[in-house]
Amino acid sequence: MSSVVVTGAGGFLGRPLLAALMRRGCQVHALGRGAVPQGISKQVIWHPVDLLDRGATRNVLGGIRAEGLVHLAWETAHGGYWHSSANLDWVASSLQMLRDFREYGGRRVVIAGSSAEYDWTGTLALDEERTPLRPASPYGHSKNALREILGAWAPQAGLSWTWGRLFNIYGPYEKPERLVPRVIRTLQGGRKLAFDDGAKIRDFLHVDDAADAFAALYTSHFGGAVNIGSGEPLAIKSFIKEIAECIGRPDLVEFGALPASANEPVSLVASVGRLREEIGWSPQSRQERLRETCEWWQSMAQRTADRN
């Protein structure tokens, strides 16, 4: 049985990744701050640790001596992470962790990157080989810098590695202020949703699918960068309409009620040929995943109402 360490294990993507790795027969060690979050399987071995504390992290890795590492943890404060100086801390701590992991016998690493590493000024699907890497934020630069250092160091260290560039993911446990939960909660609450024209194009992928894709990357032993997305270009307006139909309240959506932002890219869509052909992975139905997501948020609202 392969033993693998997951950082950011209690987070939005970390939770379903633990289950996805166990489905593939891995022994999973979860690293996260504080106590075990509710809903985590008892088969997961939980290690509370602050990953920015190198001594504590090194001690945990030395005790586990896992052969695999899936590194998700990073600064995630909504909106603020794009320009936060904490990005520098995460580059430094990630490099230290990788060195310690390799010293303790680690052999395989998968790290969560971001579509923010790419040049966002075009309208074509963002491709691992053809699209320039031209980040426009400290967050994107930090992710890209970590990937470059890892790519230069890993071969001489005898470390196998893959870099999964995430696009727009949604689903259970997402931060309530983000797009999908904000739309769902507004409509389920019977309130009007004022929006811009919704013309921008995005790539939406359910978090459980993203987690399964990362587990597939880990077990594939593919080397290099891979986009983690659906590969389906979808206008935000169309996506919101699907959510509204799922909830049964399309009458509450008011497109054009707000001005469109001039600072956001026109299109952010993943080229997924490498994910489909090299890794052999594809997502489940978006319509079914949206239904599951709407039902989950409805159940959360009902629990809150019951407690009150």
Q: Using CA atoms, how far apart are residues 266 and 230, in angstroms rounded to an integer?
A: 17
Contact between 75 and 87 under an 8 Å Cβ cutoff? The reply is yes
Query: Would you state the structure tokens that stand for residue 19, as one six-digit string?
Result: 């289950």
pLDDT digits (tens, 9 = 90+) for 284-296: 999 999 999 999 9
Contact between 60 and 69 under an 8 Å Cβ cutoff? The reply is no
Q: Are residues 132 and 248 in the same domain?
A: no
What is the structure's pLDDT at 139?
A: 97
Last residue of a domain, one of 228, 243, 261: 228
Q: Are residues 256 and 123 in the same domain?
A: no
Q: Are residues 9 and 137 in the same domain?
A: yes
Residue 159 belongs to domain spanning: 3-169+205-228
How many domains does one find in the chain? Answer: 2
Q: Are residues 85 and 112 in the same domain?
A: yes
Q: Are residues 183 and 164 in the same domain?
A: no
Task: Report the CATH number that the domain containing residue 25 is assigned in CATH.
Answer: 3.40.50.720
What is the structure's pLDDT at 168?
A: 97
Residues of the chain scoring pLDDT < 70: 1, 308
What is the structure's pLDDT at 1?
A: 63
The pTM score is 0.96
What is the structure's pLDDT at 103?
A: 98
Q: Using CA atoms, how far apart are residues 259 and 269, in angstroms rounded to an integer?
A: 23
Q: Using CA atoms, how far apart are residues 55 and 53, in angstroms rounded to an integer?
A: 6
Q: Are residues 36 and 79 in the same domain?
A: yes
What is the structure's pLDDT at 80?
A: 87
What is the structure's pLDDT at 302?
A: 86
Q: Rounded to 5 degrees, what angle do the CA atoms 165, 169, 172 make?
A: 140
Q: Are residues 149 and 175 in the same domain?
A: no
**Residue 188 three-state SS:** helix
What is the structure's pLDDT at 78?
A: 76
Neighbours of 248 (CB within 10 A): 11
Query: Would you state the structure tokens that stand for residue 100, as one six-digit string?
Result: 């310690």
Q: Are residues 242 and 131 in the same domain?
A: no
